[in-house]
Amino acid sequence: MEVIEVDIKEFKKKLFPIYKAMFPPIERRYFYQIKSANKKGMSKIFKICVDNKIIGFLIVNALEENGYIGLDYLAILPEYQSKGYGSKAIMSLKDIFPNYKAMFIEIEKLGCGKSEKENIERERRARFYNRLGFEKLNFELFLFGMEYSTYVLPISDKNKDEEEIRKYMFRVYENIYGKRAVKKHCRVL
């Protein structure tokens, strides 16, 4: 398995259709937002390949060297799920970004789904990240109409400065969505 960085043209041609198929509209960013963040050098896009065949992708956000990386999206095509590829892809990010302190993610808050099926999926997702070493932080977020729990995976720094992580996360959101949108639609719970 390989994790290979791609440019925005390859993302649009080969990965954006997968992105649209695998994430519901409420969870997706507009293409222009991904393109803008990529052009600024903030978002990096990686294809996940097995035997030169694309089986998924990752999008990560990072504002500065030695800060934090945010795992924005991870998608593995259904026929390749539950085979360890997602775990290996995430762990490869630790090798790609060895000088960063930690990786953070947001997961839809457990128990707040609209159905039992959705709650089970949220619990499955949380267990997946816990198995990889992600630890739940002590704050939750309201982002664009959804409640999220936050998790962190240490890379080069075992300390979890939750205030520093929270501030960094909001800087990432502001760079992607703009300060006005973040002020209106994002808050710590």
Q: Which residues of 134-155 are buried (b: 16+ CB within 10 A; e: fewer)?
A: beebeebbebeeeebbbbbbbb
Contact indicator for 138, 188 with CB cutoff of 8 Å: no
Q: Are 41 and 49 in contact (CB under 8 A)?
A: no
1-41 pLDDT, tens per residue? 999 999 999 999 999 999 999 998 988 999 999 999 999 99
pLDDT of residue 128: 95
Output the pTM of the full model: 0.91
The DSSP code sequence of 15-68 is: IHHHHHHHS-GGGPPPHHHHHHHHHTT-EEEEEEEETTEEEEEEEEE-SSTTSE
pLDDT digits (tens, 9 = 90+) for 118-165: 889 899 999 999 999 999 999 999 999 889 999 999 998 888 889 999
pLDDT above 80: residue 54: yes
pLDDT at 157: 81
* Residue 188's pLDDT band (cuts 50, 70, 90): very high
Q: Domain range for residue 74?
A: 2-188
CATH code, 15 = 3.40.630.30
Overall domain count for the chain? 1
Q: What is the pLDDT of residue 26?
A: 84
Is there a contact between 125 and 107 (Cβ–Cβ < 8 Å)? Answer: yes
Per-residue pLDDT at 141: 96
The predicted-structure confidence for 97-114, as pLDDT tens digits, reads as follows 998 999 999 999 988 888
127 vs 65, higher pLDDT? 127
How high is the pLDDT of residue 113? 84
Assigned token pair, 117: 């099926």
Residue 74, classed as helix, strand or coil, is: strand
